[in-house]
Amino acid sequence: MTAKRRSTALGYALIAPSLFGVVTFLLLPILVVVWLSLHRWDLLGPIEYVGGRNWRSVLTDKTFGNSLLVTLTFVAIVVPVQTALGLAVGALLARDLPGSGLFRTIYVLPWISVPLAIAVLWRWILAPTDGAVSTVLGHRIEWLTDPGLALPVVSAVVVWTNVGYVALFFLAGILAIPAEIHSAARIDGATSWQRFRRITLPMLRPTMFFVLVTGVISAAQVFDTVYALTGGGPQNRTDLVAHRIYAEAFGSAAIGRASVMAVVLFVILVTITLVQHLYFRRRISYDLT
């Protein structure tokens, strides 16, 4: 066997397990979900072909439209807030004062914890009867069942979970800025705020890009938190898309419609990723190595 053929055979042999996994459990499902979107199935009966009916029905469905809107609002609240707070905390940690290590550990704890369990924990904290917050305030507030409060509260819980994690990325980014640049600026008389604005922030662009893109993608897929905190309510005010797909598939037993929603979500996420990639790629030209 020539060296090249050996290398080829070896290469394929080594990637075989992961290739099998990727094709079977990531690519094939995409095809299947598109196929399912053209059928009607309630899990119990047979799968019947219905053509475009699910598509027409879902794309004109008020509940689905509401779900997309809720998701958009949610992402628009969560991502900027967690990025800003993460940046602030990261900058504070970058001062590297004694004890920063301990703070770092503390801030990451929510992210390490199981999202479903965190949601259940907050369910108690926010419970109007016997909850921690009600007891402290001495006053009942329907944090999770008031239509106006539910989505902001759920967003706050998600931000609370993510700030530490985001902060670590910014911390790494800030620490990677060569000290000489800052010293040179200081010698030139720049104040710390000016240095932050003119040096730190611009050099954090790659990190910012990463944090924003991954933030949007993961915020758009939040499920566990909604399931345990509000179940999508009140009145579908916290019915994020991932939850809507679940409710449609396993609550209403409308697998075909749920598949349509899944395809729409997929297209939206891919579009966002590509757009952000193209937009930011032009603006990132620093090579710090």
Partner 1 sequence: MTRPRFSTLFALGWVLVAALLAAAAVLLDVTARPPSGKTVVTVRLWDQQVAKAYRLSFAAFTRTHPDIEVQTDVVSYSTYFNTLRTDVAGGTADDIFWLSNAYLAGYADSGRLIDVGATFGPDIASTWEPSVVQQFTRDGRLWAVPQLTDAGIALYYNADLLAAAGVDPAALTTLRWNPGGDDTLRPLLARLTVDGDGRSAGTPGFDPNRIRRWAYNAANDAQGIYLNYIGSAGGVFQDGDRFAFDNPAAVEAFTYLVKLIDDDHVAPPASDTNENGDFSRNEFLAGKMALFQSGTYNLAAIAGQANFHWGVTMMPAGPKGRVSVTNGIAAAGNSASPHPQAVGQVLAWMGSTEGNQYLGRQGSAIPAVTAAQKAYFDHWLSKGVDVKPFFNVLKGPRIAAPGGTGFAAGNQAIKPYFDEMFLGRSDIATTLHRAQEAANAAARG
Partner 2 sequence: MTSLKKPSAAMVYVALAVGAVITLAPFVLGLLTSFTSAHQFATGTPLTWPRPPTLVNYTNLGGAGFGRALAVTALMTAVSLLGQLSSSVVAAYAFARLRFPGRDGLFWVYLATLMVPGSVTVVPLYLMMAQLGLRNTFWALVLPFVFGSPYAIFLLRQHFRTIPDDLINAAYLDGATTLDVILHVVVPSSRPVIVTLMLITVVSEWHHFLWPLIITSGTKWQVLTVATAALQSRYNAQWTLVMAAVGAAVVPLLVLFLIFQRHVVRSIVVTGLK
DSSP H stretches of helix in the chain: 3-22, 28-36, 53-59, 62-94, 100-112, 115-125, 132-137, 150-175, 179-187, 192-195, 201-203, 205-219, 224-229, 241-246, 255-281
Candidates 207, 230, 236, 238: give the one binding partner 2 (CB under 8 A). Answer: 207
Report the interface residues with partner 1, using CB under 8 A: 40, 42-46, 57, 62-63, 66, 142, 145-147, 233-236, 247, 250-254, 256-257
Position 217 contacts partner 2 (CB under 8 A):
yes
Strand partners, 182: none
Could you please report the per-residue DSSP string of 109-158?
HHHHS-HHHHHHHHHHHT-TTT-HHHHHHTS---TTTSTTTHHHHHHHHH
Candidates 20, 49, 279, 286: give the one binding partner 2 (CB under 8 A). Answer: 20
Comparing CA positions, the residue from 153, 162, 202 lying closest to residue 81 is 162
Q: Which does 216 bind (CB under 5 to 8 A by kind): partner 1, partner 2, none?
A: none
Q: Which does 121 bind (CB under 5 to 8 A by kind): partner 2, partner 1, none?
A: partner 2
Candidates 149, 185, 199, 269: give the one binding partner 2 (CB under 8 A). Answer: 269
Beta carbon nearer to partner 2, 49 or 250: 250
Build a one-symbol-per-residue string for 229-268: x at contacts with partner 2 by CB under 8 A, - elsewhere. Answer: ------------xx--xx--xx----x--xx--xx-xx--
Candidates 61-69, 73-81, 117-125, 146-154 — which segment interacts with partner 2 by CB under 8 A?
117-125
Q: Is 50 in contact with 247 (CB distance < 8 Å)?
A: no
